[in-house]
Chain A
């Protein structure tokens, strides 16, 4: 069974990850509910990106990376031999820290994923392109220059284009690795707003080093430290009454 249908909860059990001899993730267990925003916070180097990349198997591309554990999205065992990695990545999109639009037109950027999965009819592509750009609330800014090179856009626009590009694959889950850390406050605000919209249909997991951002947008928050998941719960609880002393020290800015 390879279809991502029904409930899109993300479940990781007994997750250990090694880069060569270095253990980057230590026995992590987590259940991320569907159609909510879950934030990963923690000091730099604690393994947030590494853990995020487990869910679209981007770590497969890293030589010497070894992963243990059980990982399910929508009930599918994503590391099963039968699982088609490309189909997984179609369903579990990713937005990167640095906007990475392809050096081609805005239209072709958005159409890339649908074309990958066999959609060639122009009317159909046009429809997907418009829909995706609208969902990423950038349609009005680019609708008159869809054939222009995407690299001519501002950083904030590029990042929303990348979000639209992911949405064009109609993902059920969207992983975002510090998507606003390179952007100005206005662009950041726009992206936070659109996440609020998107979570109506999509499960969102976002890595952020900005704790205000987590409190603004996340329903749930997970705090990582040195490869461990220290505390995980409702964002309100994490920030108002953390159970672990290390969490408290981190959110009050006393280390990291």
Chain B
């Protein structure tokens, strides 16, 4: 028995080492190949003689903007309806639950195909930042609904009762008591969802096209994102530029993750004080 345990322990340690090494290998590889290509031209150039990721950077910001403007309010409102108005039970909630779980698990390329058929083809928009942004919004919506639901459910019922017992209406209770009590969790999950938008590529190949050398003139123009730039550079003979872009993207995503936990903690601290 004892030997079995120690063997198990070593298997776990080896597994951990393998996963750490592969993670480090990816980061190291990207850094070694990419860092010395991180020139001013690549970062901020206008893409005349040498490649630049500036257009894609703008594209990424636009996509994040569109996706969050759409998905955040709709997602939070849906979750509020499910938790606060239906008590998070009943057939309807079950159906929505299964739907959001399934949608959250669908490969992103399927969302891409959907966006392509709707916005590019049916609406006749062609490739556009707007179509891509909306598709991304649809993609992150289930996650935002789910995590906001969790956050709302984590709020003690005693707080709601306390608010009602003081004569507050349902709306006031939701906006003044429930949402502020769980704002930390909600904001964290929104930032993480934005992280998914930033790193998404499959959806965008099919919806915004891959115009890497021009800042989109309007939201109806095609464009690129940082993640798409990596694909483009790598497949068009610029492996070093691809790595450099990957460095930028990595930094971006790490920053978002740190921001998520920092902002979440800050908000929790300001709502719950130092007690929790």
Listed in ascending order, the chain A residues whose CB lies under 8 Å from chain B are: 56, 58, 61, 63, 86-90, 93-94, 96, 98, 100-104, 112-113, 116-117, 148-149, 151-152, 162, 165-166, 169
Contact = CB atoms under 8 A, between A and B. Distances in A.
B221 interface: no
Contacts of A149: 271-275
B161 A162 contact: no
B271 A112 contact: no
26 contacts: A61-B161, A63-B87, A86-B167, A88-B167, A90-B166, A93-B165, A93-B166, A96-B161, A100-B162, A102-B162, A103-B180, A104-B180, A104-B271, A112-B163, A112-B168, A112-B176, A113-B167, A116-B166, A116-B167, A148-B273, A149-B272, A149-B273, A151-B272, A151-B273, A165-B162, A169-B167
A116 B166 CA distance: 8
Contact of B156 (A61, A87, A100, A116): A100
Contacts of B272: 103, 149, 151
B275 A151 contact: yes
Nearest to A115: B176
Nearest to B272: A103
Interface string B159-185: 101111111110010001100110000
B2 interface: no
Given A103-B272, A151-B275, A165 B166 contact: yes
A159 to B, nearest CB: 12
B167 A87 contact: yes
Interface of B: 87, 156, 158-159, 161-169, 172, 176-177, 180-181, 271-276
Contacts, number: 78
A100 to B, nearest CB: 4
A96 B158 contact: yes
Given A148-B273, A149-B272, A102 B177 contact: yes
Contacts of B164: 58, 61, 89
Contact of A162 (B162, B177, B271, B273): B162
B167 A102 contact: no
B167 A89 contact: yes
A86 B181 CA distance: 22
Nearest to A116: B168
Most chain B beta-carbon contacts within 10 A, residue among A87, A103, A116: A103
B177 A86 contact: no
A98 B167 contact: no
A86 B158 contact: no
Contacts of A87: 167
Nearest to A94: B165
B185 to A, nearest CB: 13
Contact of A169 (B87, B158, B166, B176): B166
A166 B273 contact: no
Most chain B beta-carbon contacts within 10 A, residue among A90, A100, A101, A162: A100
Most chain B beta-carbon contacts within 10 A, residue among A56, A101, A116: A116
Contacts of B159: 100, 102-103
A204 to B, nearest CB: 15
Contacts of B172: 116
B165 A56 contact: yes
A87 B167 CA distance: 6
A58 B162 CA distance: 10
Contacts of A151: 272-273, 275-276
A53 B224 CA distance: 60
A11 B226 CA distance: 71
Shortest beta-carbon contacts, A-B, top 6:
A149-B273, A90-B167, A100-B158, A94-B165, A89-B167, A100-B162
A93 B166 CA distance: 6
A148 B274 CA distance: 10
Contacts of A102: 159, 162-163, 177, 181
A102 B159 CA distance: 6
A149 B180 CA distance: 13
